[in-house]
Amino acid sequence: MPELEEPDRLLLQAAKLTEILDVVVSDFCNEQRVSGEIAWQMIQGLSDVRLERLRGESSSK
């Protein structure tokens, strides 16, 4: 099987991550009685915070 080029590999990884997130968000919404829109807004905010931390850590090295 030929090795995938980087963009193709990233697309496959993004698709897999999306599948996982969809299941987790669905379960969270059902258990916590939260709308999908609110859950995804939370993820967006948390992602922004996490990225800031990661960028801060990498720039201090």
pLDDT in tens, the chain (61 residues): 567 799 999 999 999 999 999 999 999 999 999 999 999 999 999 999 999 999 998 887 6
Tokens for 29, please give them.
Answer: 């919404």
* CA neighbours closer than 13 Å in the CB half-sphere of residue 48: 5
* CA neighbours closer than 13 Å in the CB half-sphere of residue 41: 5
- Please say whether the dihedral angle defined by the alpha carbons of residues 16, 19, 22 and 25, taken in this order, is positive or negative: negative
Report the predicted TM-score, pTM, of the whole model to 2 decimal places. 0.77
Instruction: State whether residue 33 is helix, strand or coil.
Output: coil
